[in-house]
Structure 1
Amino acid sequence: MARWEPNASERLAQAALDLFAERGYENTTVIDIAQRAGLGKTTFFRHFQDKREVLFGRGTMDELLAEAIVAAPATATPLEAVARALDAAGREVFTPARREFVARRQAVIAANPELQEREALKNLGLIAAMTGALKRRGVPDLTARVAAELGALASAIAYERWSETTTGDDFSALARRALSDVRASTALC
């Protein structure tokens, strides 16, 4: 591939996943990834801080969820605002075109304890972003935190179902169903 071709970020991510699957995460370097994508090391670092960030991004999910929560109608309950955030994730991130990439990404993370730790930290960041957005809406601290935690749990359940299914289920629909299931299960406690 020529260096001038568009979508360098996507090309780097795809090259990284291919190499992680072939050689393992530990045995793949930034230079390997850049070369596989037909790009230089400098281009890699324009898009990603290190090879982990190929899998985790730069907080764009945090921003997406927070913006959707803040933009929810003023009449929305905290969980309705979180549901709108999960809808935004389905429209912007968890699209049918990305399903294979997400499943491969998850396999790489599952095989590496360092990446599992990074995934857990990223999830904590998502909860913090949602909590902060709910607080900006005037939601009391404890309620904001609980709604964000429930939203994160629903998102994780939906993510698992979405990445493992071959039925073509929409992430947003799965997330709303998971949020409903989570809400119902809290009534049983």
Structure 2
Amino acid sequence: MARWEPDARGRLQQAAMDLFQERGYGEVTVAQIADRAGLTKRTFFNHFADKREVFFANAQMFEESVLGHLAAADPDLRPIDAVVLALTHAGLELAPYYEFAKARIAVLAVTPELQERDLVKSAGMVVSVAQVLGRRGVPERIATFAAQAALSIFPVAAAEWIAHPTADFPALMQKTLAEFRESLAGA
């Protein structure tokens, strides 16, 4: 692949994910990622701070999508329902990237360093979601509970969707929300 071809960022992300799957995250270097993408290490560092960030490159876009959908949600929805709906819409936007998402889940499942970073990113997203709920008039503690709960529901439904790509993601989200509510009821 020539170094001048477009979409260096996307090529780096795909090269990294391919290498992480083939060799394991800990065995891959930035130089190897750049080489697989047909680019230089310098180009890699123009786009990403380190190899962890190439893995989490789309997290900010996903969060912005969730927050945008949440801000636009019907104000009459209960807080958790509004967040689950926002996560559902943002999740549907990921559908064209099914193979990448599937690979991401597989790499994350076996890489403690990435799991730790994922928890940090998730905690930040809880704060952001709770702030948007606060601007919707939701009391702080309720907003935090709703954000934490919804962000626990999403990965469960998303994993099931990845395992069964023809499944209806909105239905999976609602099913998982119903199961969450059932668990709170002690059934």
- TM-score with structure 1 setting the length: 0.88
- Following superposition, the deviation at residue 88 of structure 1 comes to 2.2
Cα 1:91–1:159 change in 2 (3 A) is closer
What amino acid is the match of 2:177? L
Is 1:45 aligned to residue 27 of structure 2?
no
Q: Percent identity?
A: 45
Q: How does 1:100-179 map to 2 (within 5 A)?
A: 100-165=99-164, 167-179=165-177
- State the alpha-carbon separation in 1 of the partners of residues 48 and 174 from structure 2: 32
- State the alpha-carbon separation in 1 of the partners of residues 37 and 170 from structure 2: 31
Preserved contact between residue 69 and residue 86 of structure 2 (Cα < 8 Å): yes
Preserved contact between residue 65 and residue 90 of structure 2 (Cα < 8 Å): yes
- Following superposition, the deviation at residue 47 of structure 1 comes to 2.3
- State the alpha-carbon separation in 2 of the partners of residues 13 and 79 from structure 1: 32
- Following superposition, the deviation at residue 78 of structure 1 comes to 0.9
Preserved contact between residue 61 and residue 126 of structure 1 (Cα < 8 Å): no
Q: Which residue in the other structure is 1:32 paired with?
A: 32
- State the alpha-carbon separation in 2 of the partners of residues 111 and 121 from structure 1: 17
- State the alpha-carbon separation in 2 of the partners of residues 172 and 112 from structure 1: 29
- Following superposition, the deviation at residue 37 of structure 1 comes to 0.7
Preserved contact between residue 63 and residue 129 of structure 1 (Cα < 8 Å): no
- State the alpha-carbon separation in 2 of the partners of residues 169 and 120 from structure 1: 27
| Secondary structure in 2 matching 1:59 | helix
Cα 1:175–1:3 change in 2 (3 A) is farther
Q: Which residue in the other structure is 2:75 paired with?
A: 74
Which range moved further: 134-143 or 71-80?
Answer: 71-80
- State the alpha-carbon separation in 2 of the partners of residues 114 and 28 from structure 1: 13
- TM-score with structure 2 setting the length: 0.89
- State the alpha-carbon separation in 1 of the partners of residues 34 and 170 from structure 2: 33
- Following superposition, the deviation at residue 132 of structure 1 comes to 1.4
| Secondary structure in 2 matching 1:52 | helix
- State the alpha-carbon separation in 2 of the partners of residues 70 and 108 from structure 1: 32
Residue deviations 1:3-54 (CA, integer Å, cap 9, x gap): 3333322211111111112222122111211110112223222322211112
- State the alpha-carbon separation in 1 of the partners of residues 43 and 167 from structure 2: 35
Gaps of 5+ in 2: none
- State the alpha-carbon separation in 2 of the partners of residues 183 and 27 from structure 1: 41
Report the aligned-residue RMSD: 1.9
Q: Which residue in the other structure is 2:14 paired with?
A: 14
What amino acid is the match of 2:18? D
Q: Which residue in the other structure is 1:56 paired with?
A: 56
Cα 1:113–1:145 change in 2 (3 A) is same
- Following superposition, the deviation at residue 172 of structure 1 comes to 3.2
